[in-house]
A and B are shown apart, each in its own frame.
Chain A
Amino acid sequence: GQQVMQIPQYQHVQEGEDFTTYCNSSTTLSNIQWYKQRPGGHPVFLIQLVKSGEVKKQKRLTFQFGEAKKNSSLHITATQTTDVGTYFCAGRSNDYKLSFGAGTTVTVRA
């Protein structure tokens, strides 16, 4: 079945630095979604990518969908303490099953 894998599991970042988290699927995806979960909270939708090679930006966050629609990345520039949390990617294949990766938990050193 469809599996979505995410690396790294943990990312410790100095405030002001950049980092990237990666998401890979074992199957071709119809779309890829990214969510953020703050400590003690629930996942909140950030963005969705649908087209092959698509790139979208939200302020300091850049999301990319691979050409083969099997991988995605989230790049954060100039990390701030507000970026703390766990970032999940979620993929949907041919049906309505929405599978999540294991997440990347981000901590920030001030």
Chain B
Amino acid sequence: DGGITQSPKYLFRKEGQNVTLSCEQNLNHDAMYWYRQDPGQGLRLIYYSQIVNDFQKGDIAEGYSVSREKKESFPLTVTSAQKNPTAFYLCASSIDGGRTEAFFGQGTRLTVV
């Protein structure tokens, strides 16, 4: 089945630890996105990538890092510099950078204790 997969669904980490969230797609999409969702704040863009080895900061990139070494993979690292990392993280992809629909993964709920 084609789709976009995020893992794990739930993730717990201790404060001060870096954590990497996985996002894989087999849709052959060029563009990939990471969003953070908090109650009442919608989807805020963290990073986005149009092609392999290229990515851009979104609106709330501080405390996060990404890589795009393969077309199908766009992992997000939440670093210890992120002051409030507990949130629901959504990865998305689209075939042509937002000109057509974006497909979302199931999301990862990160809790930092």
Contact = CB atoms under 8 A, between A and B. Distances in A.
Contact of A33 (B48, B50, B101, B105): B101
A31 B90 CA distance: 21
Most interface-central of B31, B42, B107 (chain A CB within 10 A)? B42
Interface string B78-106: 00000000000010101011111111111
B107 A31 contact: no
Interface size class of B (residues with CB under 8 A): 20 to 34
Interface size class of A (residues with CB under 8 A): 20 to 34
Interface of B: 31, 33, 35, 40-45, 48, 50, 56, 58-59, 90, 92, 94, 96-107
Interface of A: 1, 6, 9, 30-31, 33, 35, 42-45, 48, 88, 90, 92, 95-103
Given A30-B99, A33-B101, 11 more contacts: A30-B98, A31-B99, A48-B101, A92-B99, A96-B99, A97-B45, A98-B94, A98-B98, A100-B42, A100-B45, A101-B42
